[in-house]
Structure formats: structure tokens, C-alpha cells
Amino acid sequence: MSAAGTRTPSRSVRDAAAGRTGRVLLAGFAAAAAADLGSLLAGWHLGHVLAKPLLMPLLVGYALTRRAPRLLVAALLFGWGGDLALLFDAEPAFLIGMGSFALGHVCYLALFGRGRTNPALGGAYALALVGTVALLWPDLPAGLRIPVAGYSLLLTAMAFRSSALGRAAGAGGALFLLSDTLIATGVAEWPQLPRPDFWIMATYLAAQYLLATGAITREQAYGREVIQD
């Protein structure tokens, strides 16, 4: 038997084991998400504090079993840093969290590369950015106006460019923008939906999941194309 023949079964075994581990981690992410969102609906703060720190590490673990690109892993880990910071109700923690998420968006933008996006979609995102910042500006605390405006520009760019990886990632980028806009309206003390934290986390978790799966699917499709070439 050739050396290539002896390697194939062991690789298949490793892939099968990674697949099982990935399914367990993804189920763990779903369970932690359900626990977190349920805690927010119930107004159980301790449940949120316990569940929220588990979310991104579980999604990162799943991504690693699928051989995710390093930039995706980095983006999710910076998201985790932002999650932890926002558990603390203080302006410095808010700024630290926003900075961590901003670094995650930089990783996402690098991951998206120069793939094609719809110019009309870019125009719509630009209008949304200008309109939202203009409306929020007078109601934001003075010390947060510039940081929020800068972060909003980076976030909107990420949301627009996410469509380069396909519809799933594009939907994830849009949901990330929606989630952070809900946070900003809360900071500006605008009227909120009932249980605003629930809607913020629900859109955020869907966003990160869709961005992760969109990036993984694209990476694997690219890998297959390279092998075929």
C-alpha cells in the first residue's frame, strides 16, 4: 500500500472526529444562546452573566473544527472581548467593548478581501450611516459622540463588505449593524422596545453565527476550487 493510501484513512478518522466535536460545540453554542436569551426575557441577570461569556468561545471552537480562517477566529475573539466588557455598566467599559468590537470589524474587513459587492447596497448603507449618526448625535453623551461616529463608520463598512462572502454573511453584517444601532439608541436614551437587551443579543448572536458560517462555507468552497485546479 502506498504512503498516500495509508494516510487517507487516518485523515478521514480525524475529519469525522472533528465533525462530531464541531456538532457538539455548535449544540453548546445553541444551548448557551437559548440560556442567555431566556435569562434576558425572564429578567434573570445572573443567568445572562453566566451564559454570555460562553457564547463566542463555543462558536470559535466550532469554527476551528471546520478549519476556519484565522481572521474569522480573531474577529470572534475580539467579539468575545467586547461581550465581556459590556457586562460592566460603566462608560470606560463601554469604550473598551466598542474598541474590541472595532478590532473585530477590522478583522472581518480583511477577511472579506476585495470580493464584489453591489454599489447600490453601498449607497443604501451610506445613507443609513449618515442618517443614524445625525439623528443620534444630539442625544449622545458628549464624550461618546466622536467614538460612536467613528465606530459606526467602521461597522457600516463591515456590514456592506460582508455581502462579498454571500447572502448568509451579508445578512450577518446587516444584523450586526442593527444590533449595535439598538445599543446606540439605548445610550442616547431613545424609547426602547420591551426587553431591549433581548433584541440586542438575539440580533448579535444571529449576526456572528451567520458571519462565521458564511466565511467557513466560502473558505471551504475556495479550497475545493484550488484542489480541482
Whole-number pLDDT of residue 223: 52
* Residue 219, pLDDT score: 66
Task: Mention every residue, 6+ apart, whose C-beta is less than 8 A from residue 33.
Answer: 51, 55, 205
Give phi and psi for 190, each to the nearest 5: -80, 160
Confidence (pLDDT) at 228: 39
pLDDT at 220: 67
Which pLDDT does position 229 carry in this prediction? 39
pLDDT at 19 (0 to 100): 81
What's the sign of the alpha-carbon dihedral 147, 97, 124, 158? positive
For the record, the C-alpha cell of 70 comes out as 484565522
CB atoms within 10 A of CB 93: 14
3-state secondary structure the chain: CCHHHHHHHHHHHHHHHHHHHHHHHHHHHHHHHHHHHHHHHHCCHHHHHHHHHHHHHHHHHHHHHCCCCHHHHHHHHHHHHHHHHCCCCCHHHHHHHHHHHHHHHHHHHHHHCCCCCCHHHHHHHHHHHHHHHHHHHHHCCHHHHHHHHHHHHHHHHHHHHHHHHCHHHHHHHHHHHHHHHHHHHHHCCCCCCCCHHHHHHHHHHHHHHHHHHHHHHHHHHHHHHHHHC
Q: How does pLDDT run along the chain (229 residues), one tens digit per residue? A: 445 555 555 777 777 777 899 999 999 999 999 999 999 999 999 999 999 999 999 999 999 999 999 999 999 999 999 999 999 988 899 999 999 999 999 999 999 998 889 999 999 999 999 999 999 999 999 999 999 999 999 999 999 999 999 999 999 999 999 999 999 999 999 999 999 999 999 999 999 999 999 999 876 655 544 333 3
